[in-house]
A and B are shown apart, each in its own frame.
Chain A
Amino acid sequence: MNKMVKGAIATGVGVILLAGGGGTLATWNQANTASMGSVVAGDLNLAAGAGVWTNAAGTAIPKIADYKVVPGDTLTYTQPLTVTLTGNLMTAKLAVTGASAASGFGDNAVVSATTLTNSKNGKVLADTVLVPADSGVVTASTTFTFKKSTTSTDATKATVDLSGIGYKLEQQAPVSSNNQ
């Protein structure tokens, strides 16, 4: 045999030895799961219920569009807001947004600032921090006062649009919050 054939045979034997040696790599090993569980997000929600208008006599007004107010009358709009706060570090603030001045009535009427109250805190102010335990109903109340001091026939047929008033529930950043 010439040297070329001898070399080829030696190489083949070496490769076979390497393939046979592969079995020696299967040493003891074991796998396991992390058992981290699931990460569940909390919740923040604000739902405005049906509001109710009542007049100075305490009588409910079925449809405000059909009701005409006169000097001396005070209309109160009461609306339930359902606040949902879920999360271990969840905190939020509820605030009134927008405003409607009684511009159509001039100085003869006043629209009060909307107040928010709940059974736990009493008044819910703009800086009141709400926690998940505060979830539930917050009552919003706005009054329209047509002054009894109105004279002559001032402000007859006047109108004021109160649709600009709204509410905003806004989460507050946890103390140790990230910056992302």
Chain B
Amino acid sequence: MQSTRALKATGLVLVAVLLGLLTVQGSYALWNKSASTNAGTVQAAEFRVSLTDTITNQATDMTLDDGTAASFSLSTTPSGVVVPGQSSYAGVQLGNATNAGGEFTIRASTGAPVVGGNTGSPLAPYLSVKVVAASSLSQCSQAALYATAPSNGTGTLDIAKAATGVLCFQISLAATMPASLTGQSTRIAVPIIVNQL
């Protein structure tokens, strides 16, 4: 009988302690105040470069909507055939069309020209391409502009945000070209790579 009473008493004490603890918990709710940063949303800019044929004024973005690189055909001047020992000229205007909030300068670099595509061309040994940076198309047909340019087709152009620049190309056919190659045509591809500075 005594043990039963003791158990009941212990149970009552436990319940009392539990209730007491639960009551004490309420006292932890002291004054407090919260505030928000209202920092907003940070957004990344677009990396957008436009290409414009400086003769036809035809324009495209370097990166197409599907994420692939654009291929852009340039017009040459003078148009028509190129006589051995003479040159033809072309130019492309690049625009830094980013919407970056801060400074955003880009550098366009040309890679080694590919003559005749994957299969090559017998004209390749007799063709040389020079690339120089310019501010307008009118400069592209000035032979003196290319005097110090390397003949491997590489060149660079720095363009500030919202600005444009021109890459001029001089395509020369060597005077030593054999007569057997007369009348042949070929395609010259110049890769342009643009990086953020």
Residues in chain A within 8 A of chain B (CB atoms) = 44-48, 51, 53, 55-57, 59, 61, 64-73, 75, 77, 79, 81, 92, 97, 102, 104-105, 114, 140, 142, 144, 146, 153, 155-163, 165-173, 177-180
Complex: A158 Cα to B35 Cα, angstroms: 27
Chain A residues closer than 8 Å to B35, beta-carbon distance: 46-48, 81, 166-169
Q: How far is the CA of A165 from the CA of B39 in the complex (A)?
A: 8
Closest to A61 in B: B101
Can you offer 27 A-B residue contacts whose CB atoms are under 8 A?
A: A45-B33, A46-B34, A48-B36, A64-B39, A67-B42, A68-B45, A68-B100, A69-B45, A70-B45, A79-B37, A114-B37, A142-B39, A153-B47, A156-B47, A157-B46, A159-B42, A163-B38, A163-B41, A165-B37, A166-B35, A167-B35, A167-B37, A168-B34, A168-B35, A169-B35, A171-B31, A179-B23
Chain A residues with CB under 8 Å of B38's CB are: 48, 51, 163
In addition to A97-B34, A177-B27, 7 A-B residue pairs with Cβ atoms within 8 Å of each other are A66-B101, A68-B45, A70-B196, A163-B38, A165-B36, A166-B37, A173-B30
Report B146 CB to chain A, min CB distance, Å.
32
Q: Which residues of B are at the interface with A, using a C-beta cutoff of 8 A?
A: 23-24, 26-28, 30-47, 63, 67, 98-104, 196
- What's the Cα separation between A69 and B41 when bound, in Å? 11
Question: CB distance B44 to A159 under 8 Å?
Answer: yes
Q: CA of A168 to CA of B36 in the docked complex: distance in angstroms?
A: 9
With both beta carbons as reference points, the residue of chain A lying nearest to B197 in the complex is identified as A72
A71 and B100 alpha carbons, distance in the complex (Å):
10
CA distance A136 to B110 in the complex (A): 58
Distance in angstroms between the alpha carbons of A67 and B44 in the assembled complex: 8
Q: Is the CB of A156 within 8 A of B44?
A: yes
Q: Which of A56, A70, A79 contacts B98 (CB 8 A)?
A: A70
The residues of A that contact B46 with a CB separation of less than 8 Å are 68, 156-157
Write out the residue numbers on chain A whose beta carbons fall within 8 Å of the beta carbon of B99. 68
Q: How far is the CB of B16 from chain A (nearest CB, A)?
A: 14
Which residues of the partner chain A approach B30 to less than 8 Å between Cβ atoms?
Answer: 170-173
Tell me if A51 and B102 are in contact (CB < 8 A). no
**Chain B residue with minimal CB distance to A91?**
B30
Q: Which of A64, A70, A169 has the most CB of B within 10 A?
A: A70
B41 and A160 form a contact (CB under 8 A): yes
Count of A-B contacts judged by CB separation below 8 Å: 148
Q: Within the assembled complex, what's the spacing in Å between the Cα atoms of A43 and B98?
A: 50
Please state if B102 and A169 are interface contacts (CB–CB under 8 Å): no
Nearest-neighbour CB distance to chain B for A46, whole angstroms, equals 4
Contact B42 A160 (CB under 8 A): yes
CB proximity of A108 to chain B, nearest CB, Å = 9
Of A72, A114, A170, the contact of B32 (CB 8 Å cutoff): A170
Q: How far apart are B194's CB and chain A's nearest CB, in angstroms?
A: 10
**Nearest chain B CB to A176 CB, angstrom units:** 12
Contact A44 B31, beta carbon cutoff 8 Å:
yes
Shortest CB distance A171–B (Å): 4
What residue in chain B is nearest A180 (Cβ atoms)?
B27
Chain A residues with CB under 8 Å of B41's CB are 64-65, 159-163
Q: Is the CB of A77 within 8 A of B37?
A: yes
Cross-chain contact B43 with A157 (CB below 8 angstroms)? yes
Considering the chains assembled together, what is the distance between the CA atoms of A71 and B42 in angstroms?
A: 13
B44 touches A68 (CB 8 A): yes
Query: Do A159 and B47 contact each other (CB < 8 Å), given the known contacts A57-B103, A77-B37?
Result: no
